[in-house]
Structure 1
Amino acid sequence: MEIGIILFRTLFIYFIIIIVFRLMGKREIGQLSIVDFVVSIMIAEMAVISIESPEKPMMQSLLGIGVLLILQVFFAFVSLKSEKMRHIIDGKPSVIIDRGQIDETQMKKQRYNFDDLLIQLRENGVNKISDVEFAILEPTGKLSVIKKEEEENEDDPGSNLFPLPLVLDGKIQEQHLKRLGKTELWLRQELKKLGFRDLKKISFCSLEADGIFFIDLTEDD
């Protein structure tokens, strides 16, 4: 009888967890944030307790899984609306190599050493640090690498920058403008030329390497 209960609970919890992770959204395992990872471990632990302890009501585990699902969906919704909460929950990317220069200050902040850097550069098919224009440590721990172009445009240093969000959720990203050597006034004037006067209607805006703006408007508009 107990074996039958365990088999039933295993199958039932299996399908419940599939549904829960579908509702939580699609992310690759390597792209899970710290919060996603913690929630996944807690759900797995509750599932194991429910299967290994048939004498305990399964509703207890289902209740805990349901609470975690609600919290995860809530935080995901808040992250979509608030840049500050998104950074708190998911973290921010860190530029480890900036225009060919290693930023050791950022490495220390992230407790990231040169062995880590070299390993992840090799994983990206890069053997020499001198070949790297930018290396960004993502919140997931993955290193995104942008190699140097064979011929750099010396007349326009900004053309060698990776696309930085200049407007995010209707807010100007001043630190990214400084990296480009531009001002908020310049950005507003350029957007006005393109017919965009209200920045709150822009969900994402970046300056591509060819000097063309990529602009995405909020769905409400």
Structure 2
Amino acid sequence: MIIVVIRTLILYTLVIVALRLMGKREIGQLQPFELVVILMISDLAAVPSENVGIPLLSGIIPILVLLSASLTLAWISLKSEKARDIICGKPSILIERGQIIEEEMKKNCYNLTDLLEELRLKNVPNIADVEFAILENNGQLSVIPKAHKRPTIPEDFHIMPQFEGLPLTIIMDGKLNSKTLEKSNKTLNWLKDELKKQGTKIEDVLLASLDSSGTLYVQAKLEKKPQLK
């Protein structure tokens, strides 16, 4: 039993390392060759972990070969546009200037029901409002509405909003992040004073973040929140 556990942990670690080396992507954003590699790696890892009679190397070596092949293809597609088109394919325009391209629909086995469903998911229920709809290599549908149907933005009204940077997390689960506090150009005494105004202290804070305008957001831990009378 111990041998099975050890073998499983080794294969599990190897699979995690392999997935990390392949990069950070959601399943829906994987290229076809990447999805195939993941499926094959999972199958190769399952067999040696279930059957002690199979040598561990029989699972490790194929996984390393697949990982090497995947990284090689990724490197080639990164360096060569022509190779990228062959390996990953090209996006297909399903709607162009408001007109459905039937040939592309048939080529990608994409029916009208699927198209209308994806448009609804993109908050474009009326196909007449679509300028372009592009089926990306990862299977996602990119929708570009017609100019007069797009949401308005401040630039349309000649308004220049103030810069909004990323909020800095200063306290998380009662622990102070000194580096983030230093990056915010605030002092520890300032932080303690702000927390004191809200009737709490560092170790009692679940989350505290500072936005680009200098506003401090604080949420105390549930058991430390003041009780309303």
Same fold (TM over 0.5): yes
The secondary structure found in structure 1 opposite 2:20 is helix
Give 1:123 deviation, angstroms.
1.3
TM-score by length of structure 2 reads 0.63
Matched, 1:135 2:133: yes
User: For residues 53 and 90 of structure 1, what CA distance do their matches in structure 2 show?
Assistant: 35
1:46 aligns with 44
Tell me which residue corresponds to 1:25: 23
Stretches of 4+ aligned residues off by more than 2 angstroms: none
Find the aligned partners of 1:113 and 1:104 in 2 and give their Cα distance. 9
Q: Does 1:8 align with 2:2?
A: no
Amino acid in structure 1 at the alignment position of 2:131: E
Q: Which has the larger radius of gyration?
A: 2
Per-residue CA deviation, residues 25-74 of structure 1 (Å, 9 max, x unaligned), is 22211011111111111100000001111111101110000000110111
Corresponding residue for residue 147 of structure 1: 145
Tell me the amino acid that sits aligned with residue 77 of structure 1. W
1:99-118 equivalences under 5 Å are: 99-118=97-116
Q: Structure 1 residue 90 and structure 2 residue 118: aligned?
A: no
* Corresponding residue number in structure 2 for 1:79: 77
CA RMSD of aligned residues (A): 1.4
**The residue matched to 2:133 in structure 1 has which SS?**
strand
Q: Does structure 1 residue 56 correspond to structure 2 residue 54?
A: yes
Q: CA deviation at 1:151?
A: 7.5
Q: How much identity, in percent, do the aligned residues show?
A: 49
The aligned counterpart of 2:226 is none
What residue is the counterpart of 1:66 in the other structure? 64
| TM-score scaled by length of structure 1 | 0.65
* 1: CA distance, partners of 2:82 / 2:114: 28
Is 1:36 the counterpart of 2:34? The answer is: yes
Match of 1:178 in 2: none
Distance 1:143 1:118 in 2: 11
- Partner Cα distance (2:9, 2:61) in 1: 17
2: CA distance between counterparts of 1:145 and 1:12? 44
Structure 1 unaligned spans of 5+: 153-221
Secondary structure at the aligned position of 1:126 is classed as coil
Classify the secondary structure of the residue corresponding to 1:150: helix
What is the aligned residue count? Answer: 150
Per-residue Cα deviation, 1:118-145 (whole angstroms, up to 9, x for no partner)? 1111111111101111110011111111
Cα distance, 1:21 vs structure 2: 1.0
- Cα deviation for residue 109 of structure 1 reads 1.2
Contact 2:129 2:149 in 1 (8 A): no
Unpaired segments of 5 or more residues in structure 2?
151-229
- Structure 1: how far apart are the matches of 2:149 and 2:93? 23
> Aligned in 2, Cα 1:7/1:151: closer, same or farther, shift over 3 Å?
closer
1:190-209 → structure 2 map (5 Å cutoff): none
